[in-house]
């Protein structure tokens, strides 16, 4: 199997649902990322890129019609680059990275683009016309598919004995870490500025106002434990899952350029990381949030590495309840988990998250002179995913 090198990772800032990117088409966010990849890697012969694989959890409407191929053409990349859109819900962006890496590992391609994109402002959770097979409701093995994500988080909190106080403390720490990372400029090298235009008519004249989006919109410097404790449960009357200890619905995009060793030499590229492997695993949909409990050990076994060797873990915070359950069950070092905050503070644009967190972990490993990192997340309908990265610094 050939080595797979991560040459570049790039992302937009993450906007809140109905926030800064609410009127920006998701395909425009993805196009912006692809153009930036080209500008930053001008030694590459882009005609030689084998494919562009884009992850999207709700691939319809403004992010439908095979957004991967559309983005290639709209970005002005060579028409020779094909495109494929993949959907594994919250792991779609990471799945795209893995599929792109597979083509290189097998020797079928030397250059690949992987990406993720999602607008939860323009395409709602579940899409515009969710339609469950009615047999789901009479099948106890499958009924969890129809449970809302918040209901699965409540189930996890009960089964894994995660208290409301623990969840709120975890959420507060997510915001604290994210604000600290923003203030220290840790996200600067992975985020590309995006200019949002707003048009209005004043005195019968068209006016255009612009805003350059440079940082994630979600982190709150004013978050406090007292404020979090006052929030009411959202999904169960006597529950513990609130809007404050859940991930934010968000908009964003990210892209990754991958290459073989031959391409690295041919185009005189400087790799940032090596992609070693990826796994997915299934479990009861009612506790979908603990999917990483299955996926991370499976990944470590696949790549023959111990958990102690992992220096950094980007564990997507769908909910504080599921994050804490995973941390407890796998005995993860909390100092290594989301040191710069997670989705509770930074947002979770579903299918884009895997590509975005790839940008974060590659940057963080290099900046901190660390070696191994894992990106992992739970997935709707009862799955977990995990990918292993090694810094080249």
**337, burial (CB in 10 Å: exposed 0-12, middle 13-18, buried 19+):** buried
**Between vectors from CA 276 to CA 275 and to CA 282, what angle results, nearest 5°?**
105
**304, burial (CB in 10 Å: exposed 0-12, middle 13-18, buried 19+):** exposed
What are the beta bridge partners of residue 55? 86, 116
Longest dimension (CA), the chain: 68
What are the beta bridge partners of residue 32? none
Q: Which long-range contacts (CB under 8 A, 24 or more apart) does 212-216 make?
A: 213/12, 213/13, 213/15, 213/20, 213/21, 214/13, 215/13, 215/182, 215/187, 215/191, 216/13, 216/14, 216/15, 216/178, 216/182, 216/187, 216/191, 216/346, 216/347
The region, left, alpha or beta by phi > 0 then psi within -120 to 50, assigned to residue 185 is left
112: nearest Cα among 46, 156, 172: 46
Catalytic: which of 33, 52, 276, 378?
Answer: 378
Q: Pairing state of beta strands 111-119 and 52-55?
A: parallel
Catalytic: which of 90, 175, 199, 392?
Answer: 90
Mark whether 276 is an active-site residue.
no
Mark whether 378 is an active-site residue.
yes
Contact call for residues 1 and 106 (beta carbons, < 8 A): yes
Question: What is the SS3 assignment for 32-100?
Answer: HHHHHHHHHCCCCCHHHCCCEEEECCCCCHHHCCCHHHHHHHHCCCCCCCCEEEECCHHHHHHHHHHHH
258: nearest Cα among 38, 33, 34, 49: 49
Mark whether 33 is an active-site residue.
no
Catalytic positions, written as ranges: 90, 348, 378
């Amino acid at each position: 199997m050939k080595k797979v090198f991560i040459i570049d990772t790039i992302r937009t800032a993450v906007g809140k649902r109905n926030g800064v990117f609410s009127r920006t088409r998701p395909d425009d966010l993805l196009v912006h990322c692809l153009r930036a990849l080209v500008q930053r890697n001008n030694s590459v012969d882009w005609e030689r890129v084998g494919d562009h694989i884009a992850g999207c959890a709700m691939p319809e409407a403004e992010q439908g019609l095979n957004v991967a191929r559309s983005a290639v053409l709209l970005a002005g990349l060579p028409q020779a680059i094909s495109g494929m859109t993949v959907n594994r819900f919250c792991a779609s962006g990471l799945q795209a990275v893995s599929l792109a890496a597979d083509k290189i590992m097998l020797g079928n391609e030397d250059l690949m683009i992987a990406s993720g994109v999602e607008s939860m402002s323009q395409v709602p959770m579940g899409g515009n016309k969710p339609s469950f097979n009615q047999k789901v409701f009479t099948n106890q093995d499958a009924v969890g598919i129809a449970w809302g994500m918040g209901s699965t988080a409540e189930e996890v909190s009960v089964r894994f004995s995660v208290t409301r106080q623990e969840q709120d403390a975890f959420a507060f720490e997510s915001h604290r870490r994210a604000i600290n990372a923003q203030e220290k400029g840790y996200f600067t090298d992975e985020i590309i500025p995006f200019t949002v235009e707003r048009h209005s008519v004043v005195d019968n004249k068209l006016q255009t106002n612009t805003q350059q989006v440079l940082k994630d919109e979600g982190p709150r410097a004013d978050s406090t434990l007292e404020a979090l404790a006052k929030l009411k449960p959202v999904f169960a009357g006597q529950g513990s899952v609130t809007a404050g200890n859940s991930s934010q619905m968000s908009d964003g995009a990210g892209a990754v350029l991958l290459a073989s060793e031959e391409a690295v030499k041919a185009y005189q590229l400087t790799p940032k990381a090596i992609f070693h492997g990826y796994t997915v695993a299934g479990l009861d949909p009612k506790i979908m949030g603990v999917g990483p409990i299955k996926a991370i050990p499976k990944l470590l076994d696949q790549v023959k590495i111990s958990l102690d060797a992992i220096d950094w873990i980007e564990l997507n915070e769908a909910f504080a309840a599921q994050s804490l359950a995973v941390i407890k069950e796998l005995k993860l070092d909390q100092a290594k988990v989301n040191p710069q905050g997670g989705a509770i503070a930074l947002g979770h644009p579903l299918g884009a998250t895997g590509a975005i967190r790839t940008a974060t972990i590659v940057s963080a490993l290099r900046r901190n002179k660390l070696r191994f990192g894992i990106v992992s997340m739970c997935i709707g309908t009862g799955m977990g995913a995990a990918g292993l990265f090694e810094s080249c610094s």
